[in-house]
Structure 1
Amino acid sequence: MKATGLRHRKGQLPNPPDSTDVEARRTFLKLGAAAMLTPLLLNGRRAGADDDPEPPVFPPSPPTTPWQEELPTAITPLPALAALTPAPTVAPNIAGGEAGRAPHQRYDELISALGVAPLLYELKAKEQPDWVFNPAYPPQPIWGYEGTTPGATSPGPTIFARYGRPILCRIRNQLPQNHVGFGTPEISTHLHNLHTPSESDGFPGDFYSANKAGPTLTAPGEFKDHFYPNIYAGYDQLQNHIGDPNEALGTLWYHDHTMDFTAPNLVRGLFGFYFIFDPLDPGNERDPIPGALRLPSHPYDYPLSFADKRFDANGILFYDQFNPDGVLGDKVVVNGKIEPVLKVAARKYRFRLLNVGPSRFYGLSLVTPSNVRQTFTYIANDGNLLPAPLLNQTLVSFSVAERADIVVDFSRYPIGTELYLINRLRQDSTRGPDGTGIGSNGPRILKFIVDRFPPVQDLSQVPAALRPLPPLSLAEIAAARVRRWDFDHDRGVWVINDRLFNVQSARAQIPQGAAEVWVLINDDDGWQHPIHIHFEEGRILSKTREGRNVAVPLHERGRKDVFLLGEDETLRVFIRFRDFLGKYVMHCHNLIHEDHAMMVRFDIVAQSGNPGPGGGGSSGSG
């Protein structure tokens, strides 16, 4: 059922953004989209599955040579720095080259309460001129992040963080400002989905370069400092100086979130991993403290990213940022490589799986060379440990921006064994997986070779209980305000409650500390939407499909920050908004939908009569 009183009249376009259309919608996606979008806007039809214009057909990528590129057998965490120059400041150091952000919220209070100075990190967004995806393709430029080792990589350096130890991360923009082609050389880096003050959340309008400032910044800059307190949600509620440990995350990722250009900038490579540990999940499988889970740990705690990309006839990365349907990649790039090999020891590994997008979904199975499916243990979804592991799994499915942690025990296999990750999920367009869904087989995208015994005994484990869920109060749910959000595709544009994204205006103002039920609705046939809500995780209360209640899958019963909204589905999600103020967004993480305005701003505001716990966030215009 549609939300009432919200649909615009047929033949009348959804509301445009204000503020002179935000630089004429970034000079209409850098000049060139107007001719393509205008017919879609004027065709006067509601674009459902049966009446959409057929998307353009892109030529297939040239063939590649499998199993030639090797991934490193272990990642190297980014080391902290002794100092940053110029030194970080609570207010933006505009004179020193920093972009005009809001002041860091609650900085002095939190540093004092945690009793420790922040660790200092620096990332540089840069172009890498000679990246090799596969030996069949020529070296070519990508965008990535550089840490302390020269050269940008995609994924960028992995940060190991810890709850209770804050981080100040400086992110410099050193992308080529004379860039031509898809993407834009401004950045706004979102750490998905840390409990972060709004000025450090990577808000889409906070993009910057040395000569350009987004509409929600006050000045351009060469860099922007991000304050990551690394506290659990519920800090104010529990008054225990760190928050609720049951709200902990584990697998996060940072990525560019520049308004209108998230998809092309991510296709170019601007993302990386951020692991965060705590006493329950300490990142040490030999931790002697009682209660520690002792899951497989570094160097056997390994991130794996999956990105769909398409290449032109010359093997050069291609993306059409003007096409409202986007571009479905036909090559799966795993940690920056096409069909790579990962050599593993004969022991347990924790793999942190991430769907980078922009549009492909995955249904992954581990198989032998003769396609016999192998079992693994599913322990976390969307970066959150499940209450209990899901044992003897043979398939893990996830949409764009979802994460899944699995444990694979390679000690079951003789040295020399070869195994493959295959993608069994069938998908021919950016709308989502085909109606036929999971196939019996699929293309091989990653090869494992068990090539050695571990140097020390494997003491890691997967216990029967992982992280408890925070309790839900039926009375609190019943008393919570309900908001309805309808995700729709209307006459060639992507809308929420029939409106385009307006970066300057909040569509909801939520009192700090409030709990709400958000009803996410997709009653438009033919499209699936992975909905990401920034700032806090939510719990799915119910799911209906075509008006009938359906069971919530086991892996979706924990805390989530991406909610896959399938065709003709409605989700009821319970979510809290605690500890910080300011501007955040909810959007579809099928990135072409996000860039074509399927996004909404919401602001967390101080409760009436309460000035809130510090400044730094804008309250928006409502």
Structure 2
Amino acid sequence: MSSSSTKESGLSRRNLLKLGMVATGTSIIASRIGDIQAQTTTPSGGYTTTPWMDPLPVNRALAPVGALAPAPAADCDEANGETGRLPHQRWTEFQPRVLYDIDVRQAEHQFHAQGPKNLIWGYNGTLPGSTIVARYGEPVCVRFRNNLPGDAVGYGSPEISTHLHNLHCASESDGFTGDYYSATKAGPSLTAPGRWKDHLYPNTYAGGDAREALGTLWFHDHRMDFTAGNVYRGLAGFYLLFDHIDSGNETDPSPTALRLPSGVGDFDIPLMVQDKQFDASGYVKLDQFNNDGILGNKICVNGKIQPFFDVRRRKYRFRILNASPSRQYEFYLMYKGRAQNFTYIANDGNLLPAPLTMQKIRVAPAERADIIIDFKAFGNIGADDEVILVNRLEQVDGRKPTGKLLTPGDEILKFKIKAGAVDDPSQVPAKLRDLPPIDTKKAVRRRNFEFDRSGGSWTVNGNLFDVTKPLFTVKKGTAEIWTLESKGSWLHPVHIHMEEGRILSRDGKSPPAHERGRKDVYPIIDGEEVEVFIQFRDFIGKYMMHCHNISHEDHAMMVRFDVVD
């Protein structure tokens, strides 16, 4: 953990929770005070922008580096600046073949052409952060260097812990919320190079089963008590995984390849959707004292307010990520005022057994949905045209959506279709990826988890999060059935680290078709009960389950569980 502690400050975590701060030290309180000052000296009120002025930013795949100095090793290299960690599990088996060096730093970012430049924190200084494209069978080491300013004011904390959301990996590389580190070692120097941490991503199938392949993942900060502020400031990026089935090559001659629309940045486009609160001058603000949930007054896609994206008359794959703190979306593809069909191929980034034809999709915070849009289906092939991605789900506070659908809704992204026919070798086959069978007889235990509120803070089974010890342990190589229940009138998108699960039932009924694949985020609302079959394979260590309304997460709605031999 960080060198700052509640003991040093003379404040206990429980007392800070009572104060509504959920902090761990005096430096954090100072950060909160800076945030208050920043908010009271900027104008309030609405922020007006003209739509469709900015092109959609789309990252290409980040180029790997030839070497890292010092070279990655099984053991922690504290002598050369690496923050403390346990040795990498199965290092000999998963020695990295691909290396990345990511600089976590402050930078300027303009959310809209008519607005000012804001200071953000970004992976390599961009929003979204750099996109990593990886393959199964090629272990990756990512070195995250913390070069954030130690004297930063405002919301968030310049200490980081990076979580690769949904990757099947060992605990020491999972980004455990308590394993955060500052830019510099303890001491008076503020000019030393940033401390770093090597994350080993084995890119191996859970249990060795190719039916367990992952596809659309994302990495984000997970610093205890300050996840909301740090992600809100920009610490989020995509990590895409390919294999012999989802090969990332639409002209792949292999009989196993699906040949889905491909080329990250060309016809395979990640879309990070985040709502943010802007003041009247166009500066982003955040109330960290609000533990109900955070809603913005503008919806950004890949860091831009209402951008446009030029497309050709062919198929595209869009990987939609809800990276908002608290808002749930229901997206429609609108053409001339009417909702249009699209093809839904993956939930939480994992390919379904077969594609679904849909006109809407609902995504809670941290959920993903991969869809295929064929733009040759719209209008006259010889003329330009346009299609709009719209959110129609009304939400007025951090609790949950109202359930009302807005007409016309919030237009968030315009697709500008260019005239003329183009070659399109991509396809969407009738079969995608098989699912492994569920054998509930393998479950050695059932557990129930109630997500609730107590004394102004958020609890699981009546407990506030305790970073120092697990609430329970599970044995590696076993399976369990967990029931997740939302108490009260709230939406809780529950995320379980380390392993995906399969929904057995929602309130005793079969889940909808798009939820019948493998998942890592389970939205529960209004007393709903979701029964999940989950296995624990390949790695041991400390992991988490938490609500991904990150205001709830930051205010103690987390559980630590340990996987043990």
TM-score norm. by structure 1 comes to 0.82
1:441 to 396, 400, 408: 408
Query: Take 2:457 and 2:216, find their aligned partners in 1: how far apart are those partners?
Result: 33
What's 1:96 paired with?
80
Q: Is the contact made by 2:31 and 2:156 (CA closer than 8 Å) also made in structure 1?
A: no
Task: Please say if 1:338 is aligned against 2:305.
Answer: yes
Q: Contact between 1:207 and 1:258, CA under 8 Å: does it hold in 2? A: yes
Q: How many pairs align?
A: 532
Q: Equivalents in 1 of 2:544, 2:16: separation in Å? A: 15
| Unaligned ranges ≥5, structure 2 | 1-11, 34-42, 187-192
Q: How big is the shift at 1:323?
A: 1.8
Q: SS in structure 2 opposite 1:205?
A: coil
Q: Contact 2:484/2:529 (CA < 8 Å) preserved in 1?
A: yes
1:25-81 residue CA offsets vs partner (Å, 9 max, x unmatched):
2449525879xxxxxxxxxxxxxxxxxxxxxxx965411111111024x53100111
Relative to the length of structure 2, the TM-score reads 0.90
Give CA-to-partner distance per residue, 1:316-375, whole Å, 9 cap, x none.
Answer: 10001122224311210100000101111110000000000111111011112x321111
Partner amino acid, structure 2, of 1:138: P
Change (3 A) 1:595 1:203: same
Letter in 2 for 1:65: T
Distance (Å, rounded) in 2 between the aligned partners of 1:187 and 1:273:
17
5 Å matches for 1:262-301? 262-298=227-263, 299-301=266-268
| Alignment map for 1:373-452 (pairs within 5 Å) | 373-391=339-357, 393-413=358-378, 414=381, 415-436=383-404, 438-451=405-418
In the other structure, the counterpart of 1:175 is 148
Gaps of 5+ in 1: 1-12, 35-57, 112-116, 147-151, 214-219, 235-242, 607-622
**Structure 1 position 325 matched with structure 2 position 309:** no
Q: Give the Cα separation in 2 of the matches to 1:491 and 1:24.
A: 16
- What residue is the counterpart of 1:196 in the other structure? 169
In 2, Cα distance between the equivalents of 1:334 and 1:396?
Answer: 17
Tell me which of 533, 540, 543 is aligned to 1:581.
540
Instruction: Give the match for residue 426 of structure 2.
Output: 460
Amino acid of the residue matched to residue 576 of structure 1? Q
Structure 1 residue 248 corresponds to structure 2 residue 227: no
Residue 475 (structure 2) pairs with residue 511 (structure 1): yes
User: Could you list the per-position Cα deviations for residues 411-442 of structure 1 after superposition, in whole angstroms to 9, with x for gaps in the alignment?
Assistant: 22334111111101110011111133x33430
Task: Name the residue aligned to 1:528.
Answer: 491
How big is the shift at 1:596? 0.4
Q: Distance in 2 between matches of 1:248 and 1:569?
A: 29
Would the aligned equivalents of 1:100 and 1:221 in 2 still touch at CA under 8 Å?
Answer: no
What is aligned with 2:47?
62
Q: 1:447 to 1:601 in 2, by over 3 A?
A: same
Q: SS at the partner of 2:178?
A: helix
Q: State which of 442, 461, 467 in structure 2 corresponds to 1:497.
A: 461
Report the CA distance shift for 1:24/1:373 in structure 2 as closer, same or farther (over 3 A).
closer
AA of the residue aligned to 1:86: P
Alignment partners' CA distance in 2, 1:14 and 1:127: 29
Q: Deviations over 1:89-147 (max 9, x none)?
A: 11111111110111111111334xxxxx5200111111113x1101232112111111x
Measure the CA separation in 1 of the matches of 2:70 and 2:31.
40
Match of 1:210 in 2: 183
SS at match of 2:376: helix
Whether contact under 8 Å (1:172, 1:224) holds in the other structure is yes
In structure 1, what is the equivalent of residue 189 of structure 2? none
The 5 A counterparts of 1:109-258 are 109-111=93-95, 117-129=96-108, 131-146=109-124, 152-211=125-184, 222-234=195-207, 243-258=208-223
Aligned-pair identity in percent equals 52
Q: Secondary structure at 2:94's aligned position in 1?
A: helix
Distance 1:399 1:333 in 2: 16
Q: Is the 1:32–1:322 Cα contact (8 Å) retained in structure 2? A: no
Question: Residues 542 and 560 of structure 2 are in contact (CA less than 8 Å); yes or no, is this contact kept in structure 1?
Answer: yes
The amino acid of 1:504's aligned partner reads T
Contact 1:61 1:315 in 2 (8 A): no
Letter in 1 for 2:102: L
Going from structure 1 to structure 2, the CA distance change for 1:60 and 1:574 (only over 3 Å counts) comes to farther
Q: State the superposition RMSD in angstroms.
A: 2.3
Moved more, 63-72 or 511-520: 63-72
- Which has the larger share of strand? 2
Residue 611 of structure 1 aligns with which residue?
none
Q: Tell me the distance in 2 between the aligned counterparts of 1:300 and 1:61.
A: 36
Instruction: Determine the C-alpha separation between the residues in 2 that align with 1:445 and 1:87.
Output: 44
Contact (CA 8 Å) 2:278, 2:285: kept in 1 or not? yes
Q: How big is the shift at 1:566?
A: 1.2
User: Is the Cα–Cα contact under 8 Å of residues 14 and 499 in structure 1 kept in the other structure?
Assistant: no
* Corresponding letter in the other structure for 2:461: N
Distance (Å, rounded) in 1 between the aligned partners of 2:13 and 2:120: 35
Offset from partner CA, 1:208-256 (integer Å, 9 cap, x none): 123369xxxxxx961100000000000xxxxxxxx10000010000000
SS of the residue corresponding to residue 494 of structure 2 reads strand
- The change in CA–CA distance for 1:300 and 1:324 in structure 2 (over 3 A counts) is same
Q: 1:272 to 1:452 in 2, by over 3 A?
A: farther
Describe the shift of the 1:28–1:141 C-alpha distance in structure 2 as closer, same or farther (beyond 3 A).
closer
Change (3 A) 1:181 1:296: same
Distance 1:163 1:16, change over 3 A: farther
Give 1:550 shift: 3.7
Task: State the alpha-carbon separation in 1 of the partners of residues 246 and 496 from structure 2.
Answer: 24
Q: Which consecutive aligned stretches of 4+ in structure 1 deviate over 4 angstroms post-superposition?
A: 13-18, 31-34, 452-455
Deviations 1:528-587 (A, max 9, x none): 10000001100111111xxxx344111111100000011110111000010001000000
AA matched with 1:102: L
Change (3 A) 1:167 1:256: same
Question: Bigger relative contact order, structure 1 or 2, given CA contacts below 8 A and separation 6+?
Answer: 1
Distance 1:14 1:520 in 2: 26
Q: Higher mean Cα deviation, 335-344 or 134-143?
A: 134-143
Contact in 2 for aligned 1:541/1:571 (Cα 8 Å): yes
